[in-house]
């Protein structure tokens, strides 16, 4: 699994209100949210981000409220992955649940510059510059989290699991208890 795009570099403690300011939460439409993604720290992000781009951040990315819309705004804007030194726990879980790759790296922040073109090699746990001159090791996501992300998020993952087990007929089906 690979992705290639521009690196958007941000610092420490980028909270959910910076990712998607609260004043835009009057409309939960993913396109509306994406049009204001990262507006609290970059006025140009939403209009310049492209599919496959990578958000690179410092410590405690996604701190603040538990709003899922922060993940939705990033994912809908085309961001393929967020790489940070560390994540706020609720943002990380929301990312997994909604199918956005969130990887930790101690060194990526120091290696890459804003605007670098990079290739994310998830299966190899590597982020490298498109020209191969820069490289950072990524902490591997837990296998279960990657399974959920590969399914497109928690809801599609559970639906697929229900179909595979024959338990899609409702909560009273005996197979539901096995999940």
Quick: pLDDT tens for 36-73. 999 999 999 999 999 999 999 999 999 998 899 999 99
Rounded distance, CA 6 to CA 24, Å?
A: 25
127 and 92 assigned to the same domain: yes
Query: Which pLDDT belongs to residue 164?
Result: 76
Residue 173's domain comprises 152-179
Average pLDDT, the chain: 92
32 and 65 assigned to the same domain: yes
176 and 100 assigned to the same domain: no
Sign of CA dihedral 108, 109, 113, 115: positive
Rounded distance, CA 137 to CA 158, Å?
A: 31
6 and 43 assigned to the same domain: yes
Q: What is the CATH number of the domain that holds 66?
A: 3.20.19.10
112 and 157 assigned to the same domain: no
If pLDDT is split at 50, 70 and 90, which confidence band does 177 have? very low
Per the domain annotation, does 68 fall within a domain?
yes
Rounded distance, CA 148 to CA 157, Å?
A: 6
Query: Which pLDDT belongs to residue 96?
Result: 97
- Report how many domains make up the chain: 2
Per the domain annotation, does 147 fall within a domain?
no
pLDDT in tens, 128-145: 999 999 999 999 999 999
pLDDT in tens, 96-107: 999 999 999 999
167 and 80 assigned to the same domain: no
Rounded distance, CA 154 to CA 67, Å?
A: 16
136 and 160 assigned to the same domain: no
Q: 69 CB contacts (<8 Å, ≥6 apart)?
A: 16, 20, 25, 28, 33
Per the domain annotation, does 11 fall within a domain?
yes
112 and 179 assigned to the same domain: no
96 and 157 assigned to the same domain: no
Query: Which pLDDT belongs to residue 175?
Result: 55
If pLDDT is split at 50, 70 and 90, which confidence band does 169 have? low
Q: In this structure, are residues 65 and 118 in contact, taking their beta carbons and an 8 Å threshold?
A: no
pLDDT mean over 108-132: 96
58 and 106 assigned to the same domain: yes
95 and 175 assigned to the same domain: no
């Amino acid at each position: 699994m690979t992705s290639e795009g521009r690196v958007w570099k941000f610092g420490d403690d980028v909270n959910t209100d910076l990712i998607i300011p609260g004043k835009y939460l009057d409309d939960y439409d993913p396109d509306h949210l994406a049009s204001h993604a990262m507006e609290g720290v970059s006025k140009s992000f939403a209009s310049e981000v492209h599919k496959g781009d990578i958000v690179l951040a410092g410590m405690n990315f996604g701190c603040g409220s538990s709003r899922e819309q922060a993940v939705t705004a990033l994912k809908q804007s085309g961001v393929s992955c967020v790489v940070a030194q560390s994540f706020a726990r609720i943002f990380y879980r929301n990312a997994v649940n909604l199918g956005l790759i969130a990887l930790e790296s101690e060194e990526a922040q120091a290696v890459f510059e804003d605007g670098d073109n990079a290739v994310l090699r998830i299966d190899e746990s590597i982020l490298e510059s498109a020209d191969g001159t820069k490289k950072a090791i990524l902490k591997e996501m837990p296998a279960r989290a990657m399974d959920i992300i590969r399914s497109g998020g928690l809801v599609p993952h559970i639906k697929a699991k229900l179909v595979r087990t024959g338990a899609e007929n409702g909560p009273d089906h005996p197979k539901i208890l096995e999940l």
